[in-house]
Amino acid sequence: MPLCLCGDIPLKLQRKHILGLQEMSAEEINLVLDTAANFKEVLARPIRKVPALRGKTVCTLFFEPSTRTRASFEMAAKILSADTSSLTVAASSVTKGETLKDTVLTMQAMGVDCFVIRHPQSGAPEMATRYVRGHILNAGDGCHEHPTQGLLDLLTIREAKGPIENLRVTIIGDLLHSRVARSDFWGLQKLGAKVTLCGPDTLLPPEFDKYGACLKTNCDAAIEGADVVMLLRLQNERMDGIYLPSVREYAALYGMNARRLKRAKPDAIVMHPGPINRGVEISNEVADGERNVILEQVTNGVAVRMALLYLLLGGEE
Amino acid sequence: MDLLIKNGRVIDPSQNLDTTADVLIENGRVTAMGSELRNPQSAIRNLDASGCIVAPGLIDLHVHLRTPGQEYKEDTQTGTTAAARGGVTTVCVMPNTAPPIDRRSVVEDILQRARTEGNGVHVLPVASVSIEAKNLQLSEMAELKAAGAVAVSDDAFPMQDAGFMRRAFQYAKTCDLVTMLHCEDTALTHGGCMNEGIVSNELGLRGMPRLAEELAVFKACAVAREVGNRIHILHNTTKGAVEQIRRAKNDGVQVTAEVCPHHFALTDEACRGYNTNAKMNPPLRLQEDMEALIEGLKDGTIDAITTDHAPHAAHEKEREFALAPFGIVGLETLLPLCLQYLVEPGHLTLTQVIEKMTAAPARILGLPYGTLQNGAPADIVIFKPKAQWTLHAEDLASKSKNTPFDGVSMTGQVEATIIEGKLVHHKDTKNTEIS
């Protein structure tokens, strides 16, 4: 059912900013997923352009290097006919240069309707909401959340597996530092999945147990009977060198390979937020295998970001 | 200026006193106490304290006055004004200034500023245990003491090396100085910015585990037992730390301890929303820790209540949570928070709470204040214990407004503060130089 993109009564989210999935309800998440599913039709058209956000300005503000998330946001905005501007702030200048407050105030003065913020510090997008009139869309903050990644993962699972309720999902990797894992976890939990988190105790915060997650340090046991296996990138840049003895040992204990994957359900899918480290958290054969949906995740990323921009900005005067 | 304080309820824990009486002050000292004291001279001024508590002025063992070097956060004038408004008549100021209090000239500078820029609040410098606060070379403690330092401390730069700690304790003992300790195992807290737990996990912020404090308290007590010196553990926040101190005291270690009101008034939940005014070190902890701190106050494991008054400019706190500095202001909320969180729920009596801020800190450092005995310096706080008011951060006298209690309803209000017989603060009077 195609969405009426210049419609009279557009559906809207009852919130101004998208900071994380922890604060969103299942209804809100489903609204975003349904809207994104509809936008996939637009992505399949020969002319990928709709006028929904004509005259709106989306500013991507990246304080941390990123290729795909930024490209995905810009593509989503452009397909919806929004104007985009972008600002890259080198991480090093955060401590000596302009403060986040002044950066967002400066960009706002140029006229921005929606800020897309990626920042190495947890809470930076939430802090920005105190200073700007426009919308804030969190594109990943520190170890806190990466809500668009969480939503695109949910959309991908839904497409592959149907309703998320009661699916068994295993997330493997650096749970301590992963904003992707946090967003995925909150989203999956709200939609009723059974979530297992797996990693060495150095990277597996025991606090997740309090929210009903199943925590496992043994990877084989964690995968047993899973419908979905989500791998996290081993984030070397967040490692102080005291969490793991070596990449080699991590690959041996937690790397996903064809043998290990046999423990999951025969139709289980393998997901990864990218960029993948072949030979570390994912073997070549799994990375190139039939069961991974990694490229679907990328496509769905554009659809989910279109949906969020549309739901936040669409129909606004 | 002589004063006669009439009709107040006088509570002086140093004399086990709780009675309605008049207090006479002559030449800056308490000279008489009793019912319906007569004005000995017609020129003497009366102060009506009906419905108020009259107590010794509060002694705060743990204040960052930021001078010298960081006067944009606080200076002697604003800091002592904030103290007087909070009923605090003595502040012990911590050595993490710029330069640190590690040489005679800095001690003298602080004392000089207190005389020229202060309002009469006693400003007592606490010297650094080490040169440049680097914990590599002992400071000249004997000279620092001679210049006016009342203790030595590693606050803000906690000693990690037990070898250096033992030498520092031995040398401080030689100089008969109490060592005030910031207990934190920094290998466990490195890069952390709030308590490690459910909230830090949800916010994606690096945590500071409670273990880091308990271990450091244990270590300090063990070293002090060996050396036989006197130590004072600053700002305790965890159940484990309280247990370590209780055990050490039972074992005869010469250890005293303090807590700050925010640590028994708030938990790490206050950090939600990335509220940098709830960021301090040690951080806000959990409900069970608050309960343990209160239990420690009740059974005497925790001797004193202090503020760790730590002003920071607004632009410093308007940062990403992990990048904002640690600390909150506390001088003007000390008494109300104690009344609200300790006295009102019935954990401690009014007398016990006052003792923790008068007689106890005076005893810890051997100060001549914190008492209304005949002949003592007339440092007095007069307050209404049940008055309700709302704190507005912008109204604080402190130069910095970094408090998590902005807009919060407070119980108990300081009416007047007297230091050596001089009225330095009165709630209803802007100009305290009235006669």
Q: To the nearest whole angstrom, how far is the Cα of B18 from the nearest Cα of chain A?
A: 48
Grade residue A238 by pLDDT with cuts at 50, 70 and 90.
Answer: low
Q: Nearest chain B Cα to A211, which residue? A: B198
Grade residue A22 by pLDDT with cuts at 50, 70 and 90.
Answer: very high
Residues of A in contact with B201 (CB under 8 A): 205, 207-208
pLDDT at A92 over 50: no
Q: Which one of B274, B277, B279 makes the best mutation probe of the A interface by having the most chain A beta carbons within 10 Å?
A: B274
**Is the CB of residue B180 less than 8 Å from the CB of residue B61?**
yes
pLDDT tens column, B134-177: 999 999 999 999 999 999 999 999 999 999 999 999 999 999 99
Those residues whose C-beta lies under 8 Å from the C-beta of residue B188, and which sit 6 or more positions away, are B208, B209, B211, B212, B215
Taking the Cβ of residue B320 and every Cβ of chain A, the question of whether any pair is shorter than 8 Å is answered with: yes
Predicted pLDDT of residue B432: 45
Exactly one of A68, A263, A265, A278 is catalytic; which is it? A68
CATH class of B57-365: alpha beta
Q: What is the pTM of this model?
A: 0.94
Predicted pLDDT of residue B73: 98
Considering the domain B3-54+378-392+409-426 in this protein, what is its CATH number? Answer: 2.30.40.10
pLDDT tens column, B390-409: 999 999 999 999 999 999 99
pLDDT tens column, B365-391: 999 999 999 999 999 999 999 999 999
pLDDT tens column, A261-290: 999 999 999 999 988 999 999 999 999 999
Contact B321 A207 (CB under 8 A): no
Tokens 């997923």 belong to residue: A33
Predicted pLDDT of residue A98: 81
> Could you check whether B3-54+378-392+409-426 and B57-365 share the same CATH topology?
no
Predicted pLDDT of residue A99: 87
Predicted pLDDT of residue A218: 98
pLDDT tens column, A146-200: 999 999 999 999 999 999 999 999 999 999 999 999 999 999 999 999 999 999 9
The partner residue sitting opposite B203, judged by closest CB among A123, A208, A240, is A123
Those residues whose C-beta lies under 8 Å from the C-beta of residue A136, and which sit 6 or more positions away, are A16, A17, A18, A19, A114, A115, A117, A125, A126, A128, A129
Q: To the nearest whole angstrom, how far is the Cα of B76 from the nearest Cα of chain A?
A: 29
- A146 in catalytic set: yes
pLDDT at A13 over 90: no
**Domains of chain A and CATH, by start:** 26-145+298-313 (3.40.50.1370), 147-293 (3.40.50.1370)
Contact A126 B273 (CB under 8 A): yes
pLDDT at A9 over 70: no
Q: Where are the domains of chain B?
A: 3-54+378-392+409-426, 57-365
Separation of CA B2 from chain center: 29
Contact B204 A143 (CB under 8 A): yes
Q: What percent of chain B has pLDDT over 70?
A: 98
pLDDT at A95 over 60: no
Q: To the nearest whole number, what is the mean pLDDT of chain B?
A: 96
The partner residue sitting opposite A123, judged by closest CB among B191, B274, B318, is B274
Structure letter (DSSP) for residue A145:
B
ipTM value for the complex: 0.91
Grade residue B435 by pLDDT with cuts at 50, 70 and 90.
Answer: very low
pLDDT tens column, B221-247: 999 999 999 999 999 999 999 999 999
The partner residue sitting opposite A121, judged by closest CB among B197, B273, B323, is B323
Exactly one of B60, B268, B308, B379 is catalytic; which is it? B308
Print the SS3 string covering A242-270.
CCCCCHHHHHHHHCECHHHHCCCCCCCEE
**Is the CB of residue B219 less than 8 Å from the CB of residue B165?**
yes
Predicted pLDDT of residue A317: 60
